Amino acid sequence: MEVSTFAGKTVHEGIVLPSTGEGHVTLKLVNGYNVSHPLTEVFSLEELSSPVESSSTSIPEVEFDQTLPLVRIIHTGGTIASKVDYATGAVVARFEPEEMLAAFPEMASIAKIEAVKIGNMWSDDMRPQHWNQISSAIVDAFADGATGVVITQGTDTMHLTSAALSYMWAGNGQRPPGRIVLTGSQRSSDRGSTDAAENIMAAVHWAAHGPLPDGGLGDTAVIVMHSSSDDGSCVVLPGCAVRKSHSSRRDAFRCVNSQALAYVSNAHGKMSHQIMDHYKPSYSRDITTSSTSINESLRICQLLAGPHLHADVINALSGLDYDALLIHGTGLGHLPIEDAMGDTPENIALHKAIGEWCSSGRIAVVSTQCIHGPVNLAVYSKGRAQQELGVVGHDSNTGPDSALIKLHYLLSIHGRNFKQIKGAWNENLVGENPPNLQS
């Protein structure tokens, strides 16, 4: 197809898709991207080949070395399990587990692979019940002799799932019998820039050959993704202290108040790993073959501290069935609750509303919007005022995303018991609250 563009005449070659709009023509290019142009800008359109129908829907079998460690892939969906629907041009989640094995045959040299499917969902659609479903599938995998599991899911909420699994398997002071690894991809498998193959190969390698988890070092559940925009190296990140920090880069995930545990290298299909010097498992915890379930009916409201946080929001929530508040405070964890200039009565109203919330027996926790760094409510007077109101969070190094999951976990096992939750909040349950900040 020859078209007119701002840069002059351009030639595109690809597969014709249903147009994105009336009077347009849309192509799927070889690099995986779609391009659309108005028909008025098209000089010529040449058909290079006729549409080809799929000759077979069968999936070739992959043979595995039975002497290799058993790794079970638990499939939930996401970009790593997506491909192009040429009827619409959209990327859809529709890989079956068998298709994934056929798409990445290199895994056969790393481990003996089994696969189960929980669903085909985008990660932003996941809820607490899915964490329980995934954990139940992990229990089954270990009971069947798997040395490790790999959960494939969308990356948008992968750090929440990894945190949930960390608390569910090790929050009570124990450790799982094998490795729990989460991976995904930023680019779908049909694109030339896909990171899917390297990510899943690295994840399977760690699940099969990495050290057993200690449980208290952030290694209960780990995320394995690209360590940079280039191929060749993936990073093993602590699942309880990580977040997705970029919407599209292949190295989107970053540690929060923690450090990477290891790196997995891919040298022309030969996998190896390097463990960081600071990562030294002691294995002092007992092994558990089951996990703590998350209470699926809990409701936590997240609020953002700032000039638009008002008392009527807290008051409205008091009349609804919410169990706790997690407020992302500014800086060290501060809230707008003081009227220093005598012209912000709304701050005084917020101070009162939070106090009434806490005195009613409900839980309010503050984290920080800064992502990195501690919550410290002892530096400034307003922080001490927040503690007097009953706000939990002081002296925590837990990142804001992990804080949400930690709160959910603690509510699941302690209910609205303020004393128990406050006490556990300052503990380092799974590596989420290290005594010394790391970067």
**For 165-201, what is each residue's pLDDT tens digit?**
999 999 999 999 999 999 998 876 666 568 888 999 9
CATH code for residues 70-275: 3.40.50.1170
Neighbours of 187 (CB within 10 A): 19
User: Which is nearest to 393 in space by CA: 299, 320, 291, 305?
Assistant: 305
User: pLDDT digit string (tens) for 313-348?
Assistant: 999 999 998 999 999 999 999 999 999 999 999 999
pLDDT digits (tens, 9 = 90+) for 8-27: 888 888 888 777 678 888 87
With pLDDT > 70 as the criterion, what percentage of the chain qualifies?
90
| Catalytic residue numbers, as ranges | 79, 155-156, 244
Place 55 in a pLDDT band, splitting at 50, 70 and 90: very low
pLDDT of residue 293: 97
The dihedral formed by the CA atoms of 6, 9, 15 and 20, expressed in degrees to the nearest 10? 30
300-425 fold = Rossmann fold (3.40.50)
Predicted confidence at residue 143, as pLDDT, reads: 98
The pLDDT assigned to 216 comes to: 97
For the chain, the structural domain boundaries read 2-44, 70-275, 300-425
Place of tokens 């209470």: 295
Catalogue the long-range contacts made by 92-95 (C-beta closer than 8 Å, 24 or more residues apart). Answer: 93/120, 93/121, 93/122, 93/154, 94/120, 95/120, 95/189
Local confidence band at 311 (pLDDT 50, 70, 90 cut-offs): very high
What pLDDT score does 89 carry? 55
Distance between CA atoms of residues 294 and 418, nearest Å: 18
Q: Give the three-state DSSP class for 203.
A: helix
pLDDT at 97 over 70: no
Report the pLDDT value the prediction gives residue 58, as an integer from 0 to 100: 60
Look at residue 110 and tell me whether its pLDDT is greater than 80: yes
Q: Do domains 70-275 and 300-425 have the same CATH topology?
A: yes
